[in-house]
Chains A and B, each alone.
Chain A
């Protein structure tokens, strides 16, 4: 493929990361569909690709494509921020292939070997059976090596080049992000201890370090796409870091309500996790405020044109600001207080929140970064929407929102019947699963899942073809 418009090797490497991320994103949706069909039709692929296998690939692919797109985003923005080529980009390329190969092997083993005997060989070579971080131990070590190389490149580049506020935040954030993975790399017989440290990875990723990462990306996007003033954007970024880490780190307590940990986590978890939506509201306001301000300045000059240099990417960034606030903020707050969580914990309600939060907070902005990649690679000055990009955006966002609504309604039926009425037993569980609202909710979830998947096909088509479209300004 011709990369004639990309001056930096770092940006070429970024496009590799984005491409692989998009493929894994497709796998995530495909296995999500399998799992969604099984809710409606339990015999579908029974004892061939069971729900546990489909779901493991669904959520693991989710984590992996996001990490790939995040690494890609850093390689993309580093030359712009530091003004120099990324130090160690050659090693970066080598690590990309190692990482991609490891992921392919891991997924094939998940799919074709599925389960192993109850001993440590399974944990080392098949999977660890721990939600989200199922990757077998050998792959854990591979991931650590890749992450170390990535963080080293980021640090060396940040130290050698111009260290902007955004780069400084990323340097602090990515070392925490990588280091936290280590807390999930051990085995214990004690399930309470297991889940205690498991949350150090999951929670401190998605409710702390990943959110800060998104803040940094949004800051970069505002500067590059609408010409927002760096000083203002970076000031907001520091405020967001303070708010996100200030609430998110101790917000961990909301996972420690019921796993065997002491009761004081009720108060700590309730208080700090209830504060977690605040920075998300702040981020939403900030993005809209900066947009309005920059457009207002343009209008004041008497110019009738948009300040946005990449319409599809900016659309995804706006959807990120909104989706993060809605999915992580509102849907998270719904069930974060222990009085509510006692009943909703581990029901379809959690699933509703999970879908909109991961999508709203992360998928959106990372798709936006992919569009920035397409723009840069094709040397486009002002990138406009195409029919496909509009279909993709509407169907994906509408589809995920629809799935969330369906799962929320199913979740209400689920927790009220199985938990509040029946006290969570086996019989109660299935009473909840057979409620009419639940069954209809699951049908709608599948339909909306299909809508999302068709939207994804439009997205792929657009990412592959929009670079050649004639209506962009070059």
Chain B
């Protein structure tokens, strides 16, 4: 009888499957140990000492946030507190958030928590996408805070009759069907004034997360359609 080939031996393939799975799992865990510290929430001290974190601390709501092209990385990154000479976050320029730019770490954390809980309780993700994940029935919220539509010259701020971006967003969140922008409207979800404030803080914080350039060109192109 001819010698049995290892290639048709079930034991060989069973062991191979075990090894491949084991190695892949160990690699995933090793990468997880590398990634977790990099996406851990930063602190107020980081912001004050000019330490750039991929996910900044909650007090980032005290700062001005923009989304600028990083020449080295070839994609846009959030710039916090204005840019320095190299185009990186300088953490200098503050911006008032509901009238204050001195939210303490505890206050900001509580506000972010309220907003994050609110984003889950109100089921935002089953219409919108957050960091690109969710449903596709409503706009992506990853950088919604930086959307020109909510800026001083944008239609949304004017529509709500408020003077600041955060107040306009909070007003819209509480009474969405009073401010329809399209036939497809956001429903009233019973969001209270306090919850709306939390949700806007959550959105501002999310816009400061380094998402490797997603979404690309956000807010940079206005009206490329129909030759406008």
A contact set with B: CB distance below 8 Å:
35, 38-39, 42-43, 46-47, 50-53, 55-56, 114-120, 122-123, 126-131, 134, 165, 168, 187-196, 231, 234-235, 238-239, 241-242, 245-246, 249-250, 252, 255-266, 268, 342-343, 345-348, 350-351, 414, 417, 419, 421-431, 433
Contact = CB atoms under 8 A, between A and B. Distances in A.
B50 interface: no
A431 B123 contact: no
21 contacts: A51-B126, A52-B126, A117-B195, A118-B121, A118-B191, A118-B199, A126-B121, A129-B120, A194-B116, A196-B35, A242-B17, A249-B25, A249-B27, A259-B131, A259-B132, A261-B35, A423-B218, A423-B221, A426-B156, A426-B181, A430-B182
Interface of B: 8, 10, 13-14, 16-17, 20-21, 24-25, 27-28, 31, 34-36, 38-41, 54-55, 58, 73, 109, 112-127, 129-140, 142-144, 147-150, 156, 177, 181-185, 187-192, 195, 198-199, 202, 206, 209-222, 224-225
B127 A42 contact: no
Contact of A246 (B20, B116, B209): B20
A262 B135 contact: no
Contacts of A127: 120, 123
A52 B123 contact: yes
Contacts of B224: 421-422
Contacts of A266: 212
A25 B41 CA distance: 40
A343 B216 contact: yes
Given A52-B127, A250-B28, A424 B218 contact: yes
Contacts of B112: 189
A429 B139 contact: yes
Nearest to B58: A189
B35 A117 contact: no
A42 B10 contact: no
Contacts, number: 270
A426 B21 contact: no
Contact of B225 (A191, A422, A424): A422
A115 B218 contact: no
A423 B131 contact: no
Contact of B117 (A52, A119, A235, A261): A119
Contact of B190 (A38, A115, A250): A115
Contact of A242 (B21, B31, B122, B143): B21
Nearest to B209: A260
A190 B222 CA distance: 31
A119 B121 contact: yes
Q: Label chain A's interface by main secondary structure.
A: helix
B33 to A, nearest CB: 12
Nearest to A131: B125
Given A193-B39, A235-B10, A255-B133, 16 more contacts: A42-B183, A51-B135, A56-B126, A127-B120, A189-B109, A196-B35, A234-B10, A258-B132, A261-B35, A261-B54, A265-B35, A343-B216, A347-B136, A348-B136, A425-B148, A426-B149
Contact of A414 (B38, B54, B136, B142): B136
Contacts of B36: 193, 196
A126 B198 CA distance: 20
A469 B209 CA distance: 61
Nearest to A243: B20
A61 to B, nearest CB: 13
* Interchain residue pairs A-B with the least CB separation, the first 3: A129-B120, A118-B118, A258-B214
B131 A191 contact: yes
B141 to A, nearest CB: 10
Contacts of B13: 235, 238-239, 242
B133 A131 contact: yes
A52 B116 CA distance: 17
Contacts of A261: 35, 38-39, 54
A258 B131 contact: yes
Contacts of A38: 137, 184
